[in-house]
Amino acid sequence: MAVIGLLTACKQDNWLDWKAENIAFMDANEKADSIQTTPSGLQYKVIRQGIPNAAAKPDDLKTVVITYKGQFINGYVFDEGVDVALGVSNVVEGFAEGLKKMNVSGRYILYIPYDLGYGESGNGTEGTAAYIPPYSTLIFDVTLNRCF
């Protein structure tokens, strides 16, 4: 059992430089022009405000249709989609928080720190295109097309 714990710890150590890079990115990004930061640590930039309409504002019970591109701090695009429907409650915490700030037709860039994303474990299978490494900041360019 001790050997398994040691191997897991060694594997996590491989990501410590990546963790430091991601934390440094978020620290620097917070100081950039037009970046807003929520109490949870989510950072976002409003590109286009969209149409203010409280009835069409996302919440945990809503489904949204979005166009998005997700990438890491190094620019690697791990996912993108056009007119993708998803439940607000079915995404990582930071993405849901960002969606709830948006209006229909709005476009935001969301900077999601790892603790509001996939955390210390990451997501998916290492070596695949959609793999999210541990400690990854997720950067999403999101347009909210519809909300219902």
Cα 113 from Cα 15, distance rounded (Å): 15
Q: Looking at the predicted structure, is the pLDDT value of residue 55 above 80? A: no
Q: In whole angstroms, give the CA distance from residue 143 to residue 28.
A: 24
The string of pLDDT tens digits covering residues 77-105 is: 999 999 999 999 999 999 999 999 999 99
Q: What does the radius of gyration of the chain's CA atoms come to, in whole angstroms?
A: 16
Residue 12: its pLDDT value, please?
56
DSSP SS3 for 85: strand
The pLDDT assigned to 13 comes to 66
pLDDT at 4 over 60: no
pTM: 0.89
- Candidate CATH numbers 3.30.1490.20, 3.10.50.40, 3.40.630.40, 3.50.30.30; the one for domain 2-147: 3.10.50.40
> What are the boundaries of each domain within the chain?
2-147
pLDDT at 124: 94
Cβ-contact 64, 58 below 8 angstroms: yes
Backbone angles phi, psi at 80, to 5 degrees: -160, 155
